[in-house]
Amino acid sequence: MPGYNSLTHKPFIPGIIPPAGPPAASWWFIFRKYALLITPPSGQVGVPHLPRPEALGLVPLQEHYLGQWAGVPCFAAEVAETATPPAGMDFQSLRALYGSLDEDLFWLAGRAVQIVDWDRTHHYCGRCGSLTTQKVGERAKVCPQCNLTSYPRLSPAVIMSVTRGDRILLARSGRHPAGRFSVLAGFVEPGETLEECVIREVKEEVGLDVVNVRYFGSQPWPFPNSLMIAFTCESPAGEIDLHDNEIVEAAWYPAGALPNIPPPITISRHLIDAFVRSVH
């Protein structure tokens, strides 16, 4: 059955073993470190659609079959840090491609960069230091000496909209662009449920207690390897207390007077948009 990301439009079928036979034209997500090779814009920028990267004069250091997007094979590849982009093309960070790369391709590029980075950081066994090998038929690295098997890892994080009546709590982290506000978020700790993490993070970051924690949705977040799990919750009383140095500003905002908020591609924006719809 085709797999779907709730925020994408075309069906993507994940895979590990590439199709048999001569290479057909495929989507290639080619990275120089963490920067993606993009093709010249014609309305929107794109990624190379060709049989092999060698057609562009690029030799992959590693490559991985990702699956099929709308029936077309997709591959991830890494090239040397000294590689020069082909004429008319460029390497750009995924963050810089918000809104200019097709949304489906953006999320596939996020999948690709996480797999490339996992391969890059698992050449050697984390337990005994031996050189690892690729496990046949699985997305995994195996140590031939101690048999440790390493799969791509995700770092789960919760992200939550906190509301009080017809207002939503929005905050600005020191990591955000100047003037950009968003909902709260934080990484899940060992031994903690997702709901417990929501309650703890809100308390730590803005000093508020929350109730009615409810699941909203999820989104892969490739910066570098997170899975954002979204919730809604309510804070019926209490004053904002910024005793966490991570948050520099926070306030309650009505739906009709929101500050600068994240772009529509993000699940933080989906949470905010859902709040706006709920009060209109």
pLDDT digits (tens, 9 = 90+) for 165-212: 999 999 998 887 788 999 999 999 999 999 999 999 999 999 999 999
Q: Are residues 147 and 203 in the same domain?
A: no
* Residue 212 belongs to a domain: yes
Q: Are residues 105 and 41 in the same domain?
A: yes
Looking at residue 199, which CATH number applies to its domain? 3.90.79.10
* Residue 2 belongs to a domain: no
Residue 152 has what DSSP assignment? P
Q: Are residues 238 and 146 in the same domain?
A: no
Pairing of strands 247-254, 167-173: antiparallel
Residues in the chain, pLDDT under 70: 1-10, 41-44, 244
What global pTM score does this model have? 0.88
Rounded Cα distance, 70 and 26, in Å: 11
* Residue 4 belongs to a domain: no
* Residue 183 and residue 161 in contact, taking contact as beta carbons nearer than 8 Å: yes
Pairing of strands 141-142, 155-164: unpaired
* Residue 3 belongs to a domain: no
Looking at residue 108, which CATH number applies to its domain? 3.90.79
Pairing of strands 26-32, 72-79: parallel
Q: Are residues 209 and 181 in the same domain?
A: yes
Question: Hey, what amino acid is at 178?
Answer: A
Q: Are residues 263 and 169 in the same domain?
A: yes
* Residue 228 belongs to a domain: yes
Q: What is the pLDDT of residue 7?
A: 43
Rounded Cα distance, 38 and 12, in Å: 20
Q: Are residues 173 and 263 in the same domain?
A: yes
Give the structural domain span for 226. Answer: 155-279
* Residue 229 belongs to a domain: yes
* Residue 1 belongs to a domain: no
Q: Are residues 98 and 62 in the same domain?
A: yes
Q: What is the pLDDT of residue 44?
A: 66
Q: What is the pLDDT of residue 22?
A: 72
* Residue 7 belongs to a domain: no
Count of domains for the chain: 3
Is residue 138 helix, strand or coil? coil
Helices (H) and strands (E) in the chain, counts: 3, 17
Q: Which long-range contacts (CB under 8 A, 24 or more apart) does 146-155 make?
A: 150/122, 150/125, 150/126, 152/114, 152/115, 152/118, 152/225, 153/118, 153/225, 154/225, 154/226, 154/227, 155/187, 155/225, 155/226, 155/227
Q: What is the pLDDT of residue 2?
A: 29
